[in-house]
A and B are shown apart, each in its own frame.
Chain A
Amino acid sequence: MKKTQLYDTHLTCNAKMVSFHGYEMPLQYDSIIDEHHCVRKNAGLFDISHMGRFAVSGDKAFQFIQQIITNDVGQLADKQVLYTPICNEQGGIIDDILVYKWHEKHFMLVVNCSNAEKDLSWLQKQAANYQPLEIRDLTDSVSLIALQGPQSINMLEVAFESKFDSIKRFYFDDYVWDGTRITISRTGYTGEDGFEIFVDSEQVVKLWNLLIGKNKQDGLRPIGLGARDTLRLEACLLLYGNDMDETITPLETTIGWTVKFDKGNFVGRESLLNQKTRGIDRKLVGFEMIDRGIPRQGYPVFKGNEIIGKVTSGSFSPSTNKNIGLSLIQSQYAKIGEEFQIQIRDNRYNAQIVKTPFYSRIKR
């Protein structure tokens, strides 16, 4: 089992640790619900060093990235971040990633922990026509922490004694801190304003302690994967392995907007275009429970006596005080207001399709 550099720090903070795709990660330090509200109302700090990070550089790095992703890296300015799926030839989602562009010849990809190995071999296979191209795994040498919540900008500024309001949403910049380069992006997986900070693994404990130390009196606290999941679900940010996998295409989910047919060729384009022309049979929708009961991944969804799909993610939602979920169902039923039943253990309970996201922050 792998440990991040912050493993001992988590134990000191009384974290309940769980095994997560090969890493020992903090599930919660205290109550998941309290941690959730802390991020929504104030700010929280996450260790997300388990996520995969690859640097991609070379003369044809831009063309390579453009070929493997469905979104359009051509629309990206330097120091901008792009959310995109990587698809296989059938249009199935291999992973959903963030692309960081320094310039046309140098990028970084942040990928799901569960897919990092698979992604690396896929990237290497696709790279053949774009040589010389270097794909370097930074996962161990660079750590990643996320500061999320409405107060995150203030807390970042207090910790570094510097202004960061020049970083706009989905942009990043490089800074020198304590003699090393750090990269800070205004990104996250909570539905709140927030930052993700890349730092040398040798320095991450020091940076973590600095952020917590300078902001503890203002309520900054560490947040575990438990609240990370409820936060992302409320914001309708999809989770690989739940809401997406290689048998599901982006067009069937809520991230169809990341497929840019106009940008030219890319892996999966033909299949996706066929699917679009033919019509989409299944659709990922957000729903809330009408009856009592908590939907969980894998529970069947019924319309009358017919199974029309299954739950891909579900939870109690602390911000709305409802039980919510995502389900992949037959498209004909994918309308807001449509009711269906979810089988929970031995009984079926009523639920209703609602608009997503379930929660959106107040834009300041």
Chain B
Amino acid sequence: MNIPNELLYTKTHEWVKKSTSKEVIMGITDFAQQQLKDIVFVELPSVGKELKMGTPCAVVESVKAAYDIYAPVSGKVLKINQKIQEKPQLVNEDPYGEGWFLHIEISNPNEFSSLLSPDQYRVASESEH
């Protein structure tokens, strides 16, 4: 399972990358895409939408079912990845790269402290196996 060291994680299998002091990029983890397998649809929020940490911000669908994706931090949606809406399998193929979901302008930097380190996430996801 690929858990890059430079990222932070949530228990619900999202990853977060700090790109500037005010902005993060997020997506779903390699573990999540492996569990979902064939991703055939992604629904993303509109740019400008205010997200609240821990609440649903996107939907991914496999052949069998739809799953909510949760906002890893609170803030405003700055950019969405239109490419994964057109080619959802990018999320399976490259979950940390081309398969990114959103850029978010963070509203509360204190929230970072509740995200998981790579090691913490490894432990959390292994217990789900």
Contacts and interface: CB of A to CB of B under 8 A. Distances in A.
Interface of A: 27-28, 31-33, 226, 230, 292-294, 296, 315-316, 318, 323, 345
Interface stretch (B1-9, B59-67, B95-103, B108-116): B59-67
Given A292-B85, A296-B66, A345-B43, A32 B38 contact: yes
Chain A contact residues, majority secondary structure: mixed
A109 B62 CA distance: 34
Interface in B22-67: 37-38, 40-41, 43, 59, 61-66
A141 B8 CA distance: 53
Contact of B37 (A31, A293, A323): A31
B63 A226 contact: yes
B36 to A, nearest CB: 11
Given A226-B64, A345-B59, A316 B40 contact: yes
Contacts of A32: 37-38, 62-64
Nearest to A230: B63
Nearest to A316: B40
Interface string B10-27: 000000000000000000
B33 to A, nearest CB: 12
Interface residues of B, number: 13
A31 B40 CA distance: 12
The 6 closest A-B pairs by CB, nearest first: A316-B40, A32-B63, A33-B38, A294-B41, A294-B61, A31-B38
Contact of B63 (A33, A292, A293, A345): A33
B35 to A, nearest CB: 9
Given A315-B63, A316-B63, A292 B41 contact: yes
A27 B37 CA distance: 12
A140 to B, nearest CB: 28
Contacts of B62: 32
A293 B38 CA distance: 15
18 contacts: A27-B64, A31-B37, A31-B38, A32-B63, A33-B38, A33-B63, A226-B63, A226-B64, A292-B85, A294-B40, A294-B66, A296-B65, A315-B63, A316-B40, A316-B41, A316-B63, A323-B41, A345-B43
